[in-house]
């Protein structure tokens, strides 16, 4: 990741959306952009007003940790969250998109209707803003890439503030393939990382996660 000077917020109409969970899988992100119902999910997404796929994507590493907690509406099982104050590093994938697309993606992440431009100036200027108290309603600026801000969504709390919860197999499989796509990791390397994350650790071994790529009818 090449860090360059920031572009002033008033002139920014392109940003990097940084995904650290299932949206590292480009096909999965495509349902947020183009609409539809992913295999294994109970939700159907309306998609973005601008349905062009990202023009560019990059593998990035962020300081902090991935953890699984609460209960996912789409998949059941634990949801993936980013704790920027956690120990270690978290692999992620940055997509260059328009601010309008970012607004529509975060609306869908929050289970709200897309279709309007959100004011993200507070996140651009101060590095953090909260649209509400819910799961993916906190936006963080996590750096700059090629002069443009890198933005992601998570919960307002720390990992230690929530009880870990086992993620569903279908959800882990999508994150697994996303890691392999984004970072070129082997299945063993990606599975070892996911099985070590809070919520998955003690419930999913690395071998179990590897098996998700070939197992049919993954249990939720």
Nearest in space to 49 (alpha carbons), one of 118, 119, 115: 115
Residue 1 maps to a domain: no
Return the CATH number at 68.
Answer: 3.10.490
The whole-angstrom separation of Cα 29 and Cα 31 is 5
Residue 12 clears pLDDT 80, i.e. is over it? no
Residue 23 maps to a domain: yes
Task: Tell me the whole-structure pTM to 2 decimals.
Answer: 0.91
The whole-angstrom separation of Cα 66 and Cα 76 is 17
The whole-angstrom separation of Cα 198 and Cα 87 is 12
Residue 5 clears pLDDT 50, i.e. is over it? no
pLDDT of the residue at 38 = 85
Residue 180 maps to a domain: no
Residue 38 maps to a domain: yes
Residue 216 maps to a domain: no
pLDDT of the residue at 215 = 63
For range 13-42, the mean pLDDT: 94
Range of the domain at 119: 9-159
Residue % of the chain over a pLDDT of 70: 92
Per-residue pLDDT reduced to its tens digit, 36-62? 998 878 889 999 999 999 989 999 999
Max CA distance (Å), the chain: 49
pLDDT averaged over the chain?
92
Residue 220 maps to a domain: no
Task: State the total domains in the chain.
Answer: 1
Its sign, for the CA torsion 49, 143, 79, 201, is positive
Residue 166 maps to a domain: no
- For residue 213, count CB atoms less than 10 angstroms from its CB and return exposed for 0-12, middle for 13-18, buried for 19 or more: middle
Residue 175 maps to a domain: no
Q: How many other CB atoms are found less than 10 A from the CB of residue 87?
A: 9
Per-residue pLDDT reduced to its tens digit, 73-82? 888 899 999 9
């Amino acid at each position: 990741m090449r860090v360059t000077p920031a572009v002033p917020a008033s002139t920014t109409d392109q940003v990097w959306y940084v995904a650290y969970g299932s949206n590292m899988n480009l096909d999965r992100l495509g349902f947020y952009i183009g609409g539809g119902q992913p295999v294994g999910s109970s939700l159907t997404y309306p998609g973005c007003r601008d349905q062009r796929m990202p023009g560019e994507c990059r593998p990035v590493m962020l300081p902090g940790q991935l953890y699984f907690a609460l209960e996912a509406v789409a998949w059941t099982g634990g949801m993936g969250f980013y704790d920027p104050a956690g120990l270690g590093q978290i692999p992620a994938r940055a997509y260059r998109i328009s601010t309008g697309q970012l607004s529509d993606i975060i609306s869908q992440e929050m289970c709200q209707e897309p279709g309007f431009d959100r004011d993200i100036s507070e996140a651009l200027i101060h590095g953090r803003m909260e649209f509400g108290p819910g799961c993916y309603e906190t936006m963080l600026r996590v750096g700059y890439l090629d002069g443009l801000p890198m933005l992601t969504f998570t919960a307002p709390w720390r990992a230690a503030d929530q009880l870990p919860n086992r993620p569903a197999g279908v959800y882990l499989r999508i994150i697994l393939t996303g890691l392999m796509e984004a970072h070129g990791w082997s299945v063993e390397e990606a599975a070892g990382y996911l099985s070590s994350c809070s919520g998955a650790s003690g419930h999913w071994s690395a071998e179990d996660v590897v098996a998700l790529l070939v197992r049919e009818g993954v249990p939720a």
